[in-house]
Amino acid sequence: MMRDVIPAEELLRKTRAVGQYYGFTPLETITAKTRGGARKSAAYPETLASLTLDPVAETVTSFLRQLQNAAVTPTARQPLFIWHTNIAPGRPAQKKAVIQFHALGTDRAIADAVIIHALLALSRDLFHEEPIIRINSMGDKETRVRYARELSTFFKKRANLLPEECVTCAKRDAFEAAELAIARECAEDLPAPTEYLSDMSRKRFEDLLEYLEMTETSYELSRDLLSRGNVWSDTCFELVAGGRRIAWGSRYNDLTRHFFPHAPFNAIGAVLQVASNGGVTVKAAPARARFSFVHIGDEAKRLSIRLAEDFRRAHVPLAQDIGIESLTEQLHLAERRESPYILIMGRKEALEGSAILRNRQTQENTVLPLSGLVERLKAIS
């Protein structure tokens, strides 16, 4: 039976571990540099008043405000992969725990894939059952305008066949009417948003599905999974366990413009919510990574996603930055961790089924086969 309440200390410990293995940095680490400074906390942008914010969107806006206050701006050259939770070490835990994963500054589909895998790994650990991944794409602005037009036509043509509340709602908000029709189980012929995707949105969605398939990740294409409002775009997905949604995620590129008008960036985020034992004070227990795994090329990236779970289950003290494309930036982050060993994989190694283990002290390189790699690293650690 799926657990309804999870201890706060377990939530924090397992989220931190998943973040490390999949390449997400704690928000508190990024914002610590500006903590205690004289910088004044910024108010929420007035432009947000014109947006329709669901509870997940409100959580994301709070996250973006913290980035804004810390003057943190990701770029395509230096994207940020961040995890965040309202469970803070040294403070009483909240009864409603919120865990977030965000990829900022990149429009590559690998960002979506890494967030989905991180959530999947964490959900398995927390709920002790295999979640269902439901996924769809609402496309970009161009797609949403076209799809809204098709939905309006759908409700007009079927006004005599659909519940009156759906038809009335469609005059105000076609997306809300579509969700209502789905809830009333009368949406069998509802147009699918993927049929109206722009070329760019279609390519991004196909790339994501390819990442999931190449990493042998099961998913359901769910045409009835919609994102309403003017916050979300392109990919949307949810994780379902025990018959209920435990996590929701989507891209929110346009939302970043309200907080960073002079330097907006691509962004995707996901939020997982779970009941916790509120009032308990948890301790901080950051683990030092003995190995830093760096990789370059799609073949190596796909393998790194699959290997992350093997490393994690074997408790190999390893960290990596799967979503970072630049090898130079990955090496820079590895240097900051001060890991004694660096594991390196390029396209050549990925195709040959091997990786290079570098001893940072002696600069000695050893080529290791992927078969038995986890056991070899565990023996060294």
- 205 and 251 together in one domain: yes
- 80 and 96 together in one domain: yes
| Domain-embedded: residue 285 | no
Contact 28, 86 (CB under 8 A): no
- 237 and 312 together in one domain: no
CA distance 79 to 299: 20
Structure confidence at residue 43 (pLDDT): 76
For 32-82, the pLDDT digits (tens) are: 765 555 456 677 888 888 888 889 999 999 999 999 998 888 988 889 999
Structure confidence at residue 40 (pLDDT): 61
- Give 3-state DSSP helix, strand, coil % of the chain, rounded to 5: 45, 20, 35
Mean pLDDT, residues 143-147 taken together:
92
- 262 and 132 together in one domain: yes
CA distance 182 to 99: 28
Domain endpoint, select from 159, 176, 194 = 194
Element (H, E) at 15: helix 8-22
- 145 and 134 together in one domain: no
DSSP single-letter state for residue 74: -
Q: Which domain holds residue 326?
A: 291-380
Contact 258, 45 (CB under 8 A): yes
Q: Which amino acid is at 299?
A: E
More confident site: 169 or 94: 169
Contact 113, 215 (CB under 8 A): yes
For 295-327, the pLDDT digits (tens) are: 999 999 999 999 999 999 999 999 999 999 889
- 189 and 221 together in one domain: no
- 236 and 124 together in one domain: yes
Helix 298-313 / helix 8-22 crossing angle, nearest 10 deg: 150
Backbone angles phi, psi at 290, to 5 degrees: -75, -25
Element (H, E) at 62: helix 55-69
- 314 and 353 together in one domain: yes
| Domain-embedded: residue 53 | yes
Structure confidence at residue 102 (pLDDT): 98
- 170 and 235 together in one domain: no
* Pick from 103, 99, 43: nearest CA to 69: 43
For 205-217, the pLDDT digits (tens) are: 999 999 999 999 9
300: domain CATH number is 3.40.50.800
Tokens of 141: 């602005």
For 33-45, the pLDDT digits (tens) are: 655 554 566 778 8
Backbone angles phi, psi at 185, to 5 degrees: 55, 45
| Number of domains forming the structure of the chain | 3
Taking 90 as the threshold, does the pLDDT of residue 278 lie above it?
Answer: no
